[in-house]
Every structure is written in C-alpha cells, then in structure tokens.
Amino acid sequence: MLKFVEDLAATGELRTDRPAAELADAVWSMNGPEYWVLSVDQRRWSPGQFASWLTDAW
C-alpha cells in the first residue's frame, strides 16, 4: 500500500497533511467491504454520506 500511496501522492490527488506510512495504513483499512458494511449497514450512513466522507478522508 505504501507504493500505491506514494504513486497517488505524486499525482496530487492525495491529502498531504499526514505521513505516507499512516496514509498507507488508512488506505489498507478502507480497502475492504467491511468498511462499507460498518458505515452504511451498521451505522446507517447513506451511500452518499459514505462516498462524501471517503472522498474527504483521501
């Protein structure tokens, strides 16, 4: 994930206020379907709310 984050950062499409290793961990943790299930199914976020939050997080 670190290489992916470094490549993404080089495009300017990734936030720059956190260390790359921390962002790699965050990307890894957000990369599974469990994240959607926990947010949308369990916490009752709307799909749009989830998409907005995820976009802001990146």
For the chain, give percent helix, strand, coil, nearest 5.
Answer: 70, 0, 30
Per-residue pLDDT at 58: 72
Give the Å distances, CA to CA, from 33 to 41, 45, 46, 52, 56: 11, 15, 15, 17, 19
Per-residue pLDDT at 51: 93
Averaged in consecutive runs of 10 residues, what is the pLDDT profile of the chain (58 residues)?
90 88 90 92 96 85
Per-residue pLDDT at 29: 86
Per-residue pLDDT at 50: 94
Per-residue pLDDT at 54: 86
